[in-house]
């Protein structure tokens, strides 16, 4: 299922590019990129090229998978960090 979300985000991002909204495009494409990377999907490489081709890839992007995982905690990791 996460890859379906990534595919939808990629499509929305590409539409934003066509409509001349690079900021919105970058947000959607980067979210899709993180999902694809976590899944080990080769589409991640395609998105890296798309971001770079449009000048939307900041220095140091993509984040390491460890950093990306820490930046978007899920309920399980959040719950495990709570003091008991």
Q: What is the pLDDT of residues 43-67, one digit of tens each?
A: 999 999 999 999 987 545 555 554 4
Q: How many domains does the chain have?
A: 1
Domain that holds residue 12: 2-81
pLDDT digits (tens, 9 = 90+) for 64-77: 554 444 444 444 44
* Cβ-Cβ contacts under 8 Å for 4 (sequence gap 6 or more): none
Q: How big is the CA angle at 62 (ends 29 and 1), to the nearest 5 degrees?
A: 50
Distance CA 38, CA 77 (A): 16
């Amino acid at each position: 299922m996460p890859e379906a979300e990534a595919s939808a985000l990629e499509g929305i991002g590409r539409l934003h590019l066509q409509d001349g909204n690079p900021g919105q495009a970058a947000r959607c494409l980067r979210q899709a990129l993180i999902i694809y990377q976590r899944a080990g999907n080769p589409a991640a490489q395609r998105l890296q090229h798309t971001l770079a081709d449009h000048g939307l890839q900041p220095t140091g992007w993509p984040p390491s998978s460890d950093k990306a995982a820490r930046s978007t905690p899920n309920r399980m990791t959040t719950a495990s960090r709570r003091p008991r």
